[in-house]
Amino acid sequence: MSVALEPPTQGIEIVTIDDAFVVAHKPSGLLSVPGRGPDKADCLSARVQAEFPEALVVHRLDMETSGLMLFARSLDAQRALNRAFEQRLVGKYYVAVVTGIVESEQGTIHLPLICDWPNRPRQMVDHAIGKPSTTHYVVLARDETLVQTRVGLTPITGRSHQLRVHMASLGHAIIGDSLYSATPPPDRQRLLLHAAKLSFPHPVSNEPVNCESAVPF
């Protein structure tokens, strides 16, 4: 398995802040929430809560994924934002670089996903008992020399590892993916997947909130 890039050892980058929420940038290699054991205590939620003790987790990103992550600043705001996610009122847009040349300019992937328990945290496609999962993709650029394609990804559902499994299922694994790529990535190769845009209704006013984060690759 490849060794992921080490995230910054401390500090947070605040993208947007409001009385009701905080949007922070999560670097690749940093956990979203604490894992098991003291060696996994460092995470974005702990760093945000060190500065904003009232901050509450609303959603998560894979450790290897970078980009926008939303926190509520009260229980009422957390409930409102959780409802927005459940009702699919939250817009999420990712940018990834995948192996190979994606021929279609755009498309939609409908593949049901479920945890591959013997090999967790891997997820897998299962048409019998998998949960419905949908991802829209659009080609942003093709690199014929490196045989890579930059794509924009819009998940309609929010399954674990959804974008990674869906792109791998097309034969175009995300570069740096140690779980779903047919060829193990080289050491120090980060996963080229970034949560670039996040939109949601304000948890108090219901006004639209739009956040963006520059793609670091």
Summarize pLDDT for 169-186 with one digit per residue, the tens.
999 999 999 999 988 787
Judge whether residue 3 has pLDDT over 50: no
Judge whether residue 9 has pLDDT over 80: no
Average pLDDT, the chain: 93
Tell me the residue type at 80. Answer: A
Write out the two tokens for 137: 């993709």
Q: How confident is the model at residue 83 (pLDDT cuts 50, 70, 90)?
A: very high
Listed in sequence order, the DSSP H helices in the chain are 44-51, 75-86, 162-169
Q: How far apart are CA 42 and CA 38, in angstroms?
A: 8
Judge whether residue 2 has pLDDT over 50: no
Show me where the domains of the chain are located: 13-212
- Return the active site residues: 62
pLDDT top residue among 181 and 211: 211
* Listed residue (190, 172, 191) closest to 182, CA to CA: 172
Q: Are 27 and 213 in contact (CB under 8 A)?
A: no
Q: How confident is the model at residue 71 (pLDDT cuts 50, 70, 90)?
A: very high
* Listed residue (94, 100, 104, 65) closest to 171, CA to CA: 100
Write out the two tokens for 162: 């959804």
Q: Which stretch of 11-15, 77-81, 135-139, 196-200 has the lowest confidence by average pLDDT? A: 11-15
Q: How far apart are CA 107 and CA 201, in angstroms?
A: 27
**Portion of the chain with pLDDT greater than 90, in percent:** 85
Arithmetic mean of pLDDT, 198-217: 97
Report the chain's C-alpha Rg in angstroms: 17
The whole-number pLDDT of residue 35 equals: 86
What are 15-28's pLDDT values in tens digits? 999 999 999 999 99
Arithmetic mean of pLDDT, 125-152: 97
The whole-number pLDDT of residue 5 equals: 58
> Mapping DSSP to helix (H, G, I), strand (E, B) and coil, where does residue 150 land?
strand
Q: How far apart are CA 140 and CA 198, in angstroms?
A: 19
Q: How confident is the model at residue 7 (pLDDT cuts 50, 70, 90)?
A: low
Judge whether residue 110 has pLDDT over 80: yes
**Which residues lie closer than 8 Å to 92 by C-beta, 6 or more apart?**
154, 155, 158, 195, 197, 198
Judge whether residue 97 has pLDDT over 50: yes
The whole-number pLDDT of residue 65 equals: 97
Q: Are 65 and 193 in contact (CB under 8 A)?
A: yes
> Mapping DSSP to helix (H, G, I), strand (E, B) and coil, where does residue 164 land?
helix
Judge whether residue 190 has pLDDT over 80: yes
The whole-number pLDDT of residue 138 equals: 98
The CATH number given to 13-212 is 3.30.2350.10
